[in-house]
Amino acid sequence: MAFLIILVVVLLAFGLFRFYRQRTFLKVLTEEQFVEGYRKAQLIDVREPQEFDGGHILGARNIPVTQMRQRLVELRKDKPVYLYCQGSTRSARAAHLLHKKGFQEIYQLKGGFKKWTGKIKRK
């Protein structure tokens, strides 16, 4: 029983550490803030292709988080990267990878695509 309590405490501490560390390199933007800047940036939808085809933010490119490592050459380090997924979990993972690879300006849509009220495109 004591082992389980220690394990839960360690997992919670690790989660809090990652959350606060992530805030040092990932800026979470409201939809209004996101709209203000994404046209001058690289707008990346990190969901899977079938999700992207079902509807995505107008102007977004689809680079699924599962392919991000192999497709880093498609992104420029000298331009901001605006990320979104359905919620925010996958875009946070993508942001972590980009940060480790030297990207500096990384932004995430608060609440993800499910909270988006702007223009979308469907295939």
Pairing of strands 56-57, 120-121: antiparallel
Does some domain include residue 29? yes
Torsion of CA 118, 44, 115, 121, to 10 degrees: 40
- Into how many domains does the chain fold? 1
Does some domain include residue 15? no
Whether the CB-CB separation of 26 and 106 falls below 8 Å is answered with yes
Does some domain include residue 4? no
Per-residue pLDDT of the chain (123 residues), as tens digits, is 787 788 777 777 656 655 555 567 799 999 999 999 999 999 999 999 999 999 999 999 999 999 999 999 999 999 999 999 999 999 999 999 999 999 999 999 999 999 999 989 997
Instruction: Give me the domain span that covers residue 47.
Output: 25-121
Q: Which residues are catalytic?
A: 85
Does some domain include residue 7? no
Does some domain include residue 55? yes
